[in-house]
Chain A
Amino acid sequence: MVTIVIVDDHPIVRKGLKSLFETEKDFSVVAEANDGFEAVTMAQRFNPNVVLLDLILGDINGIEVARELSKNLPRTGIVIYSMLASDHYVMESFKAGARGYVSKDSSSEELIRAIREVAAGKRYLSAHLSEQPSLGEMMTTNSPDFYRRLTAREREVFQLSAQGLTCAEIARRLNISRRTAEAHRANMMRKLGFSRPAALYNFAFQHEIQADTACVKPDTTKSNRKKLGKRV
């Protein structure tokens, strides 16, 4: 029997997941939670094999919840179930102790497989996510945070690109040739998993990378996020 706690702030999604899991004879949904605090409470009370956790829980960051859960309940497998599918979130989730990551786009068969694998102590990553080379690596080694894989120059190019500078402008600013700037930019985009400029700009606005920050912090938390409630 695989016991599961479902954590999602959308009642309809929880209902859908519950009825999906009812079709698996060896799955048992022991509790549901609407937010981070409930997630930790329910997990501690029921000690499930798997916690299925969304990343967006109202104002609370699911990655923090994953961290709390893996600290307090190291034997509970955490499967992230989220619409967010960028390398960044996947990496942060695994760093926080999650062992599975399934994007909400995936089929229900994949989700069920993820829960089984994680309950059996393995790791799991949605098929189309694991196609990205940086993630594939991450699954096999505990490779360092990908920001650190950027060279200092690539980080500068990232910063300037995020501000909207063209390669020509970047070259002038950094006193390098345009071709060199283009090469750095291409490498940086590849390492960070951006397939197009719009993805880079989106990332920059998401993480509020401002013109005046000296370095890019690889941090998913927003300064105004609520803290988790008291621990039971």
Chain B
Amino acid sequence: MINIMVVDDHQVVRQGLRSLLEAESDFRVVGEAAGGFEALSMAANLHPDVIIIDLVMNGISGIEATRQMSKTCPGAGIVIFSMLATEYYVLEALRAGARGYISKDSSPEELIRAVREVAAGHLLLISSVLDRTIDFFMRIVNNNFADPMQNLTAREREVLYLSAQQKTCPEIAKTLFVSPRTVEAQRTSIMRKLGLKNQRELIGFAFERGILTHEI
């Protein structure tokens, strides 16, 4: 029996996942969470085999939640389930400890396969995401691309992500349970490391790197 926890801020998506997963006789959905924080405490209690988690939610990002859950629940295989499939997100997900990455327009069969593979301890990235990820790695390996993001700490990455989501420093401070001054210092450090002068350039960088994507 594979015990699965589902994390997505849209009830309809959670419902869809549940009905899909429960059709498999050896899958059991043991919990649903609507956000990163809920997921953290739920995972610590339930110790699921697999966690399916969205990237974009209110509060902390799915990446940050993954980062924390892979430390507190090392036995759980984390599968990111997201519409976003740029290199930025795939690499961040892998870095944070995710073992699977599928996109929201993947077929139900692909999702089920991802859950099985990750439960068995393997990595699974769907093919469109795999191609981009490998391309990106190759660029780095061939020294064609020195990634300034490499210099950011895990916390700075989260602050960058939240800033790109238009959150102000006080809002970010609340989300991360730190003081606004800490966040301001982190923002300054991020801007310096990435060579950005102002907020507009930060948003522009976010679009370039695939942290933000064109909506339509």
Chains A and B are bound partners: yes
- Residue of B16, B17, B199 near A198 (CB, 8 A) is B199
Which residues of B are at the interface with A, using a C-beta cutoff of 8 A? 9-17, 19-20, 81, 83, 104-108, 111, 163, 166, 168, 198-201, 203-204, 207, 212, 214-216
Contact of A16 among B13, B201, B216 (CB under 8 A): B13
Main secondary structure of the interface of B (DSSP, over half): helix
Question: What bracket does the count of chain A residues touching chain B fall in?
Answer: 35 or more
With A13-B104, A108-B11 as known contacts, state yes or no: A201 contacts B203, CB within 8 Å: yes
Q: Which residues in B have their C-beta under 8 angstroms from that of A104?
A: 10, 12
> Is A137 in the interface zone, CB < 8 Å from B?
no
Closest B residue to A225 using CB positions? B216
26 residue pairs from A and B, CB less than 8 Å apart: A10-B105, A11-B107, A11-B108, A12-B17, A12-B20, A12-B108, A12-B111, A13-B13, A15-B15, A16-B16, A16-B19, A17-B12, A19-B15, A19-B16, A20-B12, A20-B15, A55-B215, A56-B215, A63-B216, A84-B216, A89-B215, A196-B168, A197-B200, A202-B166, A202-B203, A206-B214
Q: Which of B12, B199, B200 contacts A13 (CB 8 A)?
A: B12
A55-B216, A205-B207 known; A108+B12 contact, CB < 8 A: yes
Complex alpha-carbon distance, A118 and B31, angstroms:
34
Q: Which 5 A-B pairs have the closest CB atoms?
A: A16-B16, A198-B166, A164-B200, A15-B16, A16-B12
Cα of A225 to Cα of B15 in the assembled complex, Å: 31
19 more A-B residue pairs beyond the given contacts A13-B104, A56-B83, A220-B216, with a C-beta to C-beta distance below 8 A: A9-B105, A10-B105, A11-B108, A12-B20, A12-B81, A12-B108, A13-B13, A13-B16, A14-B16, A15-B16, A15-B20, A17-B16, A19-B19, A20-B12, A20-B15, A56-B215, A84-B215, A84-B216, A201-B200
Q: A: which residues have CB within 8 A of B?
A: 9-17, 19-20, 55-56, 58, 61-63, 84, 89, 104-105, 107-108, 111, 164, 196-199, 201-202, 205-206, 220-222, 225
The distance in angstroms between the C-alpha atoms of A111 and B11, with both chains bound, is: 11
- Of B20, B83, B105, B212, chain A has the most CB atoms within 10 Å of the CB of B105
A164 to B14, CA, bound (A): 40
Residues of B within 8 A of A62 (CB): 216
How far apart are the CA atoms of A164 and B199 in the complex, in Å? 9
* Residues of chain B with a CB closer than 8 A to A196's CB: 166, 168
What are the residues of chain A within 8 A of B13 when measuring CB–CB?
A: 10, 12-13, 16
Give the CA-CA distance A197 to B169 in the complex, in Å.
13
B104 CB contact (under 8 Å) in A12, A108, A164: A12
Interface of A is mostly: helix
- Which residues of the other chain, B, contact A89 by a CB distance below 8 angstroms? 215-216
Closest-CB distance, B54 to chain A (whole angstroms): 11
Known contacts A17-B16, A104-B12, A222-B216; A199 and B105 CB within 8 A of each other: no
Supposing A55-B216, A61-B216 touch, asked if A12 and B207 sit within 8 A by C-beta, the answer is no
Alpha-carbon gap, A15 to B13, bound state (A) = 8
CA distance A146 to B201 in the complex (A): 27
